[in-house]
Amino acid sequence: MNSSKRFAPSQFGAIMMAPVNGLMTLVDIPLRALQRLTGITGMAAFFLMPNMLIFGIFVLLPLAINFVYSMSGGTALFLSDRSFVGLDQYQRLFQCGSYLDPMSCQEDAFWTAVGNTAWFVLLQVTLMILLALATALILNRDLRARSFWRAVFFFPVLLSPVVVGLIWKWILQRQGLLNFALFELGMEPHNWLTDRTWAFAAAVGVSIWAHMGFYALILLAGLQAIPKDLYEAAEMDGTKPARVLWRITLPLLAPNLLVVVVLALIKAVQVFDEVYVLTGGGPGTSTLYLTQYIYETGFASQLRNPGLAAAASILMGLVLVVLTLIQLGIGRRSEAKGKR
Amino acid sequence: MMGSAARFIFRRRGTSGTGKGWHWTDIVTWVWLVGGLLVMFGPAVWLAFSSFKTPAALAEFPPTILPYVTQQVTVEGYDKPLALYEAAMPDGSTRVLAEVRRIGIVSQMVDPQAPGEIIRVNIADRKPVRTMSLATENYTQPFVQFAFVQYLWNSVFVTVTATLITLVVNSMAAFALSKYEFRGRTLAMLVILATLMVPLSVIMVPLYSIISSMGLFNNLWGVILPTVATPTGVFILRQYMLTIPDELIDAARMDKASEWQIYSRIVLPLAAPALAVLAIFSVVWRWNDFLWPLIVLSRRELYTLQVGLSIYAGELNVQWHFILAMTVVTMIPVVLVFIFLQRFITTGIAGAGLK
């Protein structure tokens, strides 16, 4: 953000801004009157209002009525047309013969989604953080054109989930590039997206591909904040690079690493878009995750049940709240450390 | 040229004159970086190349990198254009012939110049004559066949409108939260930060009912409004505005400037770099939004690019040649942002750790 010069108003900019300035002057007339009523500090409420109003209507209100929703039944959309059923929806979600076997549950799709999401989160976060850490360590070396290489790994982060899903659907299809590469190497081609295990692996892999650069970027920023004199001292003592990594780099990166892990967990729990485009949750239910379950229960399926979807989304919200609290806790602890 | 570029990129800083050799970690580094280059860009580049192929070329296995088509000729006496082949003759010469039909392993061919005589050639002895040709109809057809222009327009409308509203609304809130002392300021800040942890998947059912009761279902404003009050935006702008000295504002008040003037004439121009970062973020977010538009929009003429694309790609007989081309078009704005503005995003994220 240190390049304010680039945004200095040019001649062209001045002409473009003329109508905006005119509008600002016009708006000023009624607002001056308002200010006479409210006083200077009172204007703060005016400035804050639009944002808070939108927040209130589209975030806080839905959050509040979600609880009411989760305790209502029927297929009607509006709350006034829905019947109160207490905790029935939650009971339905938890009605299980054995929690280890999704098929024994009344809502087998929910438990399948929970199981799939748990596996997905575990694999995706672990592998992605390891790869992101390796990338960050490599980018932190004395490289020529570091910002270029950093950008390389960041590229997929900007792509839309739909584009990511389609790119990989195209590569993983039966006659796709991957099968061609295997064919050239003399190996057996696979139907990647129609085999349950491979489809799951593809979902994990594609999601790592799409998001790894973001976490590598944060980790790199963390690495660059480690004081250089520590490394100089280690070099003078002739410390081995592996020891430097274990004794200096990783311990000092730990708070950053924790934050990144929790951030990645929060994102992974909500996995949906790119996998939905890639596999549509299939084959069967092998890549059905929680967000897709909520979406389909709430909107898409024939037997839609908004109450059930709301109950499931609240359960997911609870997981996210716990993760966020952990993250805030880590943030506060490392902040306190910094002050000491 | 390539050599010197490679030498420039691969040269390690500070070691060029020291005579130190390559350590194994250097090799790992370059394998990782070059591998990363292939893995990160390769798939998108492959998709872009594929998007210029005809359906026939797309169905080929093994695939070629560049878009080749088999050349065809119209031969006198045959209704359909015939495919051209280079056939090896028994006497060792090769001739360019057009295939009339194939029976088993024997191909019946004719010379386009003298179509009277049928020449029988073993199919192993003939190679198709291929020329490179860009199937630009992959790009032009979707504009005619599907409401692709409409999707494009919807996406542009949503992105631009949402970004403008985001900038205004967020900057006003950030101004209030950074330049005024009032009761409830901390509470407002906490509420905003708390919404960071309320993702769409947690509130989509009730949000949908709210949008519907406001009559915004199947309306682009229903896509726009819930997204504009971004907590991230308020946060970035507030942090930046805190660095604007209060003396400037006090001096303006002395000169009888109204609060609105202070906001619009002093704070906004000074916060331009932060506004630019937020604008870039917002454009990428809104352009890429998928789940919420998918829920709110059910009429084809309202689809955004992302929704339209995913729905066409999910249909039973996927017309890949169109899907690939539309994907490339959908990718263009983001690729432009990447090429020209990537720097701002990466420094923005590294600075605040947000997305």
Instruction: Return the exposure string of A41-69: e unless at least 16 CB atoms fall within 10 Å of the residue's CB, then b.
Output: eebbebbbebbbebbebbbbebbebbeeb
**Which residues in chain B are contacts of A162 at CB distance < 8 A?**
288, 290, 306, 309-310, 327, 330
Q: Which residues of A touch B311 (CB under 8 A)?
A: none
SS3 at position B20 = coil
Is the CB of B259 less than 8 angstroms away from the CB of A40? yes
The residue with greater pLDDT, A205 or B97, is: A205
B204: nearest CB among A156, A177, A298: A298
Contact in structure between A198 and A192 (CB atoms under 8 Å): yes
Instruction: For residues B324-339, give the mean pLDDT.
Output: 89
**Residues of chain B found within 8 Å of residue A183, distances taken between Cβ atoms:** 61-62
* pLDDT per residue rounded down to tens, chain A (340 residues): 444 444 444 566 677 778 888 888 888 888 888 888 888 888 888 999 999 999 899 988 999 989 988 888 877 777 777 878 888 888 888 887 777 777 778 888 888 999 999 999 999 999 999 999 999 999 998 888 888 898 899 999 999 999 999 999 999 988 788 888 888 888 888 888 888 999 999 999 999 999 999 999 989 988 988 888 888 888 888 888 888 888 889 999 988 888 889 889 988 999 998 999 999 887 888 899 999 999 998 887 677 888 889 999 999 999 988 888 887 777 677 666 554 4
DSSP B84: E
pLDDT of residue B311: 87
pLDDT, position B262: 92
CB of B215 within 8 A of CB of A41?
no
| Chain A residues touching B47 at Cβ < 8 A | 166-167, 170-171
**Chain A residues lying within 8 Å of B173, measured CB to CB:** 47-48, 50-52
Cβ contact B13–A167 (<8 Å): no
Question: What percent of chain B stands above pLDDT 90?
Answer: 33
**Mean pLDDT score, B237-254:** 91
- What is the predicted pLDDT for the residue at B137? 79
Residue B264 tokens read as: 């619009």
- Which chain A residues have a beta carbon less than 8 Å from that of B192? 51, 55
Domains identified in chain A and CATH numbers: 103-334 (1.10.3720.10)
- The residue that leads in pLDDT, B75 or A232, is A232
What letter represents residue B189's amino acid?
Answer: M
Inter-chain residue contact B345 with A158, CB threshold 8 Å:
yes
- Domains assigned to chain B: 68-132 (no CATH), 139-352 (1.10.3720.10)
> Which residue of A4, A78, A166 is in closest CB contact with B272?
A4
User: What is the number of alpha carbons within 13 Å of residue B170 lying toward its C-beta?
Assistant: 31
The answer to whether the bond into B62 is cis (omega within 30° of 0) is: yes
Q: Using the predicted structure, report yes or no on whether residue B15 has a pLDDT greater than 50.
A: no
Token reading at B353: 């750790």
Question: Which of B152, B205, B253, B342 best tests the A interface by mutation, with the highest count of A CBs <10 A?
Answer: B205
Do B276 and A7 lie within an 8 Å CB cutoff? yes
Give residues 210 to 239 of A whose Cβ lies within 8 Å of B.
213-214, 217-218, 220-221
Residue bearing the bigger pLDDT, B305 or B191 = B305
B19, with CB counted inside 10 A (0-12, 13-18, 19+), is exposed
Instruction: Tell me which amino acid residue A70 is.
Output: S
- Judging contacts by C-beta atoms under 8 Å, the chain A residues touching residue B351 are 1, 221
Structure-derived torsion over alpha carbons of residues B296, B297, B299, B304, reported in degrees to the nearest 10: 180
ipTM above 0.90, yes or no: no
- Give the pLDDT of residue A5: 45
* CA-based nearest distance A100→chain B, Å: 25
CA–CA gap between residue A154 and residue A284 (Å, rounded)? 33
CA-based nearest residue in chain B for residue A270: B201
Asked if A186 contacts B318 with a C-beta cutoff of 8 angstroms, the reply is no
Inter-chain residue contact B205 with A306, CB threshold 8 Å:
yes
pLDDT at B316 over 70: no
Residue A290 with chain B: CB contacts under 8 Å: 201
User: What are the Cα distances from residue A207, in Å, to A295, B30, B49?
Assistant: 19, 24, 23
Cβ distance B348 to B273 under 8 Å?
no
Whether residue B76 has pLDDT greater than 60: yes
pLDDT at residue A176 in the model = 82
A126 min Cα distance to partner chain B (Å)? 19
C-alpha A161/C-alpha A189 separation (Å) is 26
Q: Mean pLDDT in chain B? A: 83
Higher pLDDT, B108 or A114: A114
